[in-house]
Amino acid sequence: MFTTYIVVTLLATVLTLYAASNDFRRVPWVMENMDKMDIPRSWLLPLGGLKAAGAVGLVVGFAIPAIGILAAIGLILFFLGAIGFSLRARWYSHIPIPSVWLMLAAASLVLRLHTE
């Protein structure tokens, strides 16, 4: 079970850091998505910072379990918010994208709790 936790958490970390880096680099498709969901572009760097902090927290959670648990909860809330913004924009085909990150964060949390 612990090996599965490590693998899932590392995958969640890598993908979340990738998402954060896209925010920091302001890649065109991210900008288009923000416009489509009517999210102010000024939110882009803070959102990227939250993703990066969550990813780092997941890794710190290997040594300090409470940090990993809190980071996973934070990422779950973050990606629930992303799904909420997709719903608000009636952009239903976008929902599977943040759902992948949501499921990875949730899996990391559940696995962390079961390895204690």
From CA 83, how far away is CA 57, in angstroms rounded?
Answer: 22
Span 89-113, pLDDT tens digits: 999 998 999 999 999 999 999 999 9
Helices (H) and strands (E) in the chain, counts: 5, 0
- Look at residue 115 and tell me whether its pLDDT is greater than 90: no
Cα of 97 vs its chain's centroid, Å: 11
Span 68-89, pLDDT tens digits: 999 999 999 999 999 999 999 9
Please report, as a single letter, which amino acid is at residue 3.
T
pTM equals 0.93
| Residue 5: CB atoms within 10 Å | 21
Cα separation values, 19 from 6, 64, 116, Å: 20, 24, 29
**91: its two tokens:** 């952009």
